[in-house]
Each structure stands twice: as structure tokens, then as C-alpha cells.
Amino acid sequence: MARRSPLYRWLLANHQKFAAVIDKADGLFRWQDIAAGFAAEGLTDTNGNPPSAATAKATWERVTKAIESRKLRKKKQIGHPRPPAAGIVQPVPSSFQTSAPPRRTSYEFKLASLKKHPAEEKP
């Protein structure tokens, strides 16, 4: 994974709050002013320099895209499960189960002792 700047990490951690500020401003802001605010807080780009307006905007867009990708991946994971393939046995509903004895859940294991090879035995 690529090294992330302090600015990127801050925007990632504060995405919701910063998005609310951006939405509330309704386009009436300048990235130059935002970049100056980030610099005043000590946030830097990957080279340790104060972020420019272009860097601040591009970093915000990358963070937003990364968060959207995460949400999409989670949605796909949680989404609709695939139906079982043909021929796979499905669990039997509890109403159909018989009164079979319970399964054995613990097992005792013992190490076997090996016999010596005839060549190793002393005459």
C-alpha cells in the first residue's frame, strides 16, 4: 500500500465532519483557503510540505473515492448471498430432525509407540 500523507489520514479520519462543512458551504469556498487552514494545523503532503490548493482538492477527492469503494465492497460482501449450487445438501429444518443420539464432541488422542527397526536392535 502506498504511503499516505498526514493530510490524507486526517481527511479519512474526519471525512463525515469535513464533508458536512463542504456541503454546508455549497461551493462558496476556495481550496486555497482550505489548504492554508490545513497548513496552519500542521497537515502536510507526502513530502512534508504544506498542501497546495490543488493537493488539498485532489487528496479530498481520493479520500472520498476510497470511502465510496469501501462502502461498495462492504455492500457486495453483505449483499445477496449466492444460491447454493445444484447438488449441495441443505441443512434439514429442526422440525424434521430425528431423535438421534448427540454427536460426540470430544475425542481422546494418544500417541502410538513405534517399534524399533530390526537393524537398530542390539544383538
pLDDT digits over 57-109, tens only?
999 999 999 999 988 887 776 656 666 666 666 666 666 555 666 666 666 66
pLDDT of 111 strictly over 80: no
pLDDT of 3 strictly over 80: yes
C-alpha distance from residue 2 to each of 5, 8, 18, 24, 106 (Å): 10, 12, 23, 32, 47
Contact assessment for residue 28 and residue 51, using Cβ atoms and an 8 Å cutoff = no
pLDDT digits over 27-61, tens only?
888 999 999 999 999 999 999 999 999 999 999 99
pLDDT of 6 strictly over 50: yes
Q: What is the pLDDT, as a whole number, of residue 1?
A: 47
Q: What is the pLDDT, as a whole number, of residue 88?
A: 61
The residues, ordered by sequence, that sit 6+ positions from 35 with a Cβ below 8 Å of its Cβ are 50, 51, 52, 53, 55, 56
Separation between Cα atoms, residue 8 and residue 15, nearest integer Å: 10
Using DSSP, state whether 63 is helix, strand or coil. helix
C-alpha distance from residue 78 to each of 53, 74, 85 (Å): 38, 6, 19
pTM for this model (two decimals): 0.59
